[in-house]
Structure 1
Amino acid sequence: MRPAGNRATSVLTAVALAVAAFLAAGPPAAAADADLARNGGFEAGLDGWSCSGGSGAVVTSPVHGGGHALKATPAGQDNARCAQSVTVKPDSTYTLGAWVQGAYVYLGASGTGTTDVSVWTQSPGAWKQLATTFRTGPATTEVTLYTHGWYGQPAHHTDDLTLVGPDPGGTGPGGPRPPAAPTGLTANATSADSVALSWSAAAGATSYKVYRDGAAPLTVTAASATVTGLAASTTYTFQVGAVNAVGESAKSAPVSATTRSAGGSPGSPGLPAHALVGYLHTSFANGAGHLRMADVPASWDVINLAFGEPTSVTSGDIRFQLCPVAQCPGVETPAEFKAAVKAKQAAGKKVLLSVGGQNGQVQLATTAARDTFVSSVGRIIDEYGLDGLDIDFEGHSLSLATGDTDFRAPTTPVIVNLISAVKTLKAWYGPDFVLTMAPETFFVQLGYQYYGSGPWGGQDPRAGAYLPVIHALRDDLTLLHVQDYNSGSIMGLDNQYHSMGGADFPIAMTDMLLTGFPVAGDTARPFPPLRPEQVAIGLPATTNAGNGHIPPAEVDEALNCLTKKTDCGSYQTHGTWPALRGLMTWSVNWDRFAGWEFSRNFDAYFAGQGG
Structure 2
Amino acid sequence: MSFTAAVALAVAGFLAAGPPAAAADADLVLGGGFETGLDGWSCSAGSGAVVTTPVHGGSSALRATPAGQDNARCSQTVTVEPDSAYTLTAWVQGAYVYLGASGTGTTDVSTWTQSAGVWKQLTTSFRTGPSTTSVTVYTHGWYGQPAHFTDDLTLVGPAPGGPGRPQPPAVPTGLSASATSSSAISLSWTAVPGATSYTVYRDGAAPLSVTAPSATVTGLAASTTYTFRVGAVNAAGESARSAPVSATTTSGGGGGGGGLPAHALVGYLHASFANGSGYVRMADVPDSWDVIDLAFGEPTSVTSGDIRFRLCPVTECPNAESEAEFKAAVKAKQAAGKKVLISIGGQNGQVQLGTTAARDTFVSSVGKIIDEYGLDGLDIDFEGHSLSLAAGDTDFRAPTTPGIVNLISAVKTLKARYGPGFVLTMAPETFFVQLGHQYYGSGPWGGQDPRAGAYLPVIHALRDDLTLLHVQDYNSGPVMGLDNQYHSMGGADFHIAMTDMLLTGFPVAGNTARVFPPLRPDQIAIGLPATPNAGNGHTPPAEVNKALDCLTRKTNCGGYQTHGTWPALRGLMTWSVNWDRFGGGEFSRNFDAYFPGAAS
How many Å apart are 1:295 and its aligned residue? 0.3
- Given that residues 441 and 448 in structure 2 are in contact (C-alpha distance below 8 angstroms), is that contact kept between their aligned partners in structure 1? no
Distance 2:444 2:369 in 1: 38
Matched residue type, 1:446: L
TM-score under structure 1 length normalisation = 0.58
Distance 2:213 2:368 in 1: 31
List alignment gaps of at least 5 residues for structure 1. 1-59, 65-99, 106-122, 130-148, 155-190, 194-215, 217-225, 234-261
Secondary structure of 1:450's counterpart equals coil
1:449 aligned onto 2:452: no
Percent identity over the alignment?
79
- Given that residues 455 and 461 in structure 1 are in contact (C-alpha distance below 8 angstroms), is that contact kept between their aligned partners in structure 2? no
Partner of 2:230: none
How many Å apart are 1:407 and its aligned residue? 0.6
Q: Work out which of the residue numbers 279, 283, 303 in structure 1 matches 2:292.
A: 303
1:280 aligned onto 2:276: no
Distance 1:333 1:232 in 2: 47
Distance 1:432 1:439 in 2: 23
Matched residue type, 1:432: G
Describe how 1:87-236 pairs up with structure 2 within 5 A: 102=105, 125-127=128-130
How many Å apart are 1:494 and its aligned residue? 0.8
- Given that residues 267 and 477 in structure 1 are in contact (C-alpha distance below 8 angstroms), is that contact kept between their aligned partners in structure 2? no
Partner of 2:411: 422
Distance 2:473 2:427 in 1: 10
Matched residue type, 1:328: C
Distance 2:569 2:583 in 1: 26
How many Å apart are 1:324 and its aligned residue? 1.1
Q: Work out which of the residue numbers 570, 584, 587 in structure 2 matches 1:595.
A: 584
1:488 aligned onto 2:477: yes
Distance 1:385 1:608 in 2: 27
Describe how 1:527-546 pairs up with structure 2 within 5 A: 527-546=516-535
Q: Work out which of the residue numbers 347, 352, 355 in structure 1 matches 2:336.
A: 347
Matched residue type, 2:498: M
Secondary structure of 2:534's counterpart equals coil
How many Å apart are 1:502 and its aligned residue? 1.1
Matched residue type, 1:598: F
Task: Assess, with a 3 A threshold, how the Cα gap between structure 1 residues 410 and 286 changes in structure 2: closer, same or farther.
Answer: same
Distance 1:333 1:104 in 2: 75
Secondary structure of 2:434's counterpart equals coil
- Given that residues 498 and 504 in structure 1 are in contact (C-alpha distance below 8 angstroms), is that contact kept between their aligned partners in structure 2? yes
Distance 2:107 2:305 in 1: 47
Q: Work out which of the residue numbers 357, 360, 380 in structure 1 matches 2:369.
A: 380
- Given that residues 283 and 306 in structure 1 are in contact (C-alpha distance below 8 angstroms), is that contact kept between their aligned partners in structure 2? yes
Task: Assess, with a 3 A threshold, how the Cα gap between structure 1 residues 592 and 264 changes in structure 2: closer, same or farther.
Answer: closer
How many Å apart are 1:520 and its aligned residue? 1.0
- Given that residues 447 and 463 in structure 1 are in contact (C-alpha distance below 8 angstroms), is that contact kept between their aligned partners in structure 2? yes
Partner of 1:563: 552
Describe how 1:353-502 pairs up with structure 2 within 5 A: 353-453=342-442, 457-458=446-447, 460-502=449-491
Secondary structure of 1:595's counterpart equals coil
Matched residue type, 2:433: V
Task: Assess, with a 3 A threshold, how the Cα gap between structure 1 residues 460 and 231 changes in structure 2: closer, same or farther.
Answer: same
Task: Assess, with a 3 A threshold, how the Cα gap between structure 1 residues 563 and 526 changes in structure 2: closer, same or farther.
Answer: same
How many Å apart are 1:495 and its aligned residue? 0.7
How many Å apart are 1:230 and its aligned residue? 11
Task: Assess, with a 3 A threshold, how the Cα gap between structure 1 residues 228 and 319 changes in structure 2: closer, same or farther.
Answer: farther
- Given that residues 497 and 560 in structure 2 are in contact (C-alpha distance below 8 angstroms), is that contact kept between their aligned partners in structure 1? yes
Matched residue type, 1:529: P
How many Å apart are 1:264 and its aligned residue? 9.9
- Given that residues 406 and 452 in structure 1 are in contact (C-alpha distance below 8 angstroms), is that contact kept between their aligned partners in structure 2? no
How many Å apart are 1:322 and its aligned residue? 0.3
Distance 2:493 2:307 in 1: 37
Greater RCO structure (CA 8 Å; 6+ sep)? 2
- Given that residues 293 and 340 in structure 1 are in contact (C-alpha distance below 8 angstroms), is that contact kept between their aligned partners in structure 2? yes
Secondary structure of 1:556's counterpart equals helix
Distance 2:281 2:267 in 1: 14
Distance 1:380 1:609 in 2: 29
CA offsets per residue over residues 336-393 of structure 1, 9 Å max, x none? 1110000000000000010000000100101111111111111110111000000000
Distance 2:346 2:264 in 1: 22
Q: Work out which of the residue numbers 313, 316, 319 in structure 2 matches 1:327.
A: 316
How many residues align? The count is 393
- Given that residues 405 and 453 in structure 1 are in contact (C-alpha distance below 8 angstroms), is that contact kept between their aligned partners in structure 2? no
Secondary structure of 2:321's counterpart equals coil
- Given that residues 403 and 454 in structure 1 are in contact (C-alpha distance below 8 angstroms), is that contact kept between their aligned partners in structure 2? no
Matched residue type, 1:367: T
Matched residue type, 1:279: Y
Secondary structure of 1:544's counterpart equals helix
Task: Assess, with a 3 A threshold, how the Cα gap between structure 1 residues 268 and 511 changes in structure 2: closer, same or farther.
Answer: farther
Secondary structure of 2:595's counterpart equals helix
Task: Assess, with a 3 A threshold, how the Cα gap between structure 1 residues 429 and 487 changes in structure 2: closer, same or farther.
Answer: same
- Given that residues 271 and 295 in structure 2 are in contact (C-alpha distance below 8 angstroms), is that contact kept between their aligned partners in structure 1? yes
Partner of 2:566: 577
Distance 2:370 2:598 in 1: 35
Secondary structure of 1:364's counterpart equals coil
- Given that residues 192 and 231 in structure 1 are in contact (C-alpha distance below 8 angstroms), is that contact kept between their aligned partners in structure 2? no
Secondary structure of 2:446's counterpart equals helix
- Given that residues 448 and 521 in structure 1 are in contact (C-alpha distance below 8 angstroms), is that contact kept between their aligned partners in structure 2? no
Distance 1:523 1:398 in 2: 20
Distance 2:587 2:131 in 1: 65
Matched residue type, 2:278: G
Task: Assess, with a 3 A threshold, how the Cα gap between structure 1 residues 478 and 127 changes in structure 2: closer, same or farther.
Answer: same
1:504 aligned onto 2:507: no
- Given that residues 274 and 312 in structure 2 are in contact (C-alpha distance below 8 angstroms), is that contact kept between their aligned partners in structure 1? yes
Describe how 1:40-55 pairs up with structure 2 within 5 A: none
Secondary structure of 1:584's counterpart equals strand
How many Å apart are 1:521 and its aligned residue? 6.4
How many Å apart are 1:63 and its aligned residue? 10
- Given that residues 290 and 599 in structure 2 are in contact (C-alpha distance below 8 angstroms), is that contact kept between their aligned partners in structure 1? no
- Given that residues 310 and 316 in structure 1 are in contact (C-alpha distance below 8 angstroms), is that contact kept between their aligned partners in structure 2? yes
Matched residue type, 2:476: S
- Given that residues 592 and 599 in structure 2 are in contact (C-alpha distance below 8 angstroms), is that contact kept between their aligned partners in structure 1? no
- Given that residues 264 and 599 in structure 2 are in contact (C-alpha distance below 8 angstroms), is that contact kept between their aligned partners in structure 1? no
Task: Assess, with a 3 A threshold, how the Cα gap between structure 1 residues 318 and 355 changes in structure 2: closer, same or farther.
Answer: same
Distance 1:467 1:103 in 2: 39
Partner of 1:12: none
Secondary structure of 1:505's counterpart equals helix
- Given that residues 257 and 422 in structure 2 are in contact (C-alpha distance below 8 angstroms), is that contact kept between their aligned partners in structure 1? no
- Given that residues 310 and 361 in structure 1 are in contact (C-alpha distance below 8 angstroms), is that contact kept between their aligned partners in structure 2? yes
Q: Work out which of the residue numbers 586, 590, 599 in structure 1 matches 2:575.
A: 586
Matched residue type, 2:397: R
Partner of 2:502: 513
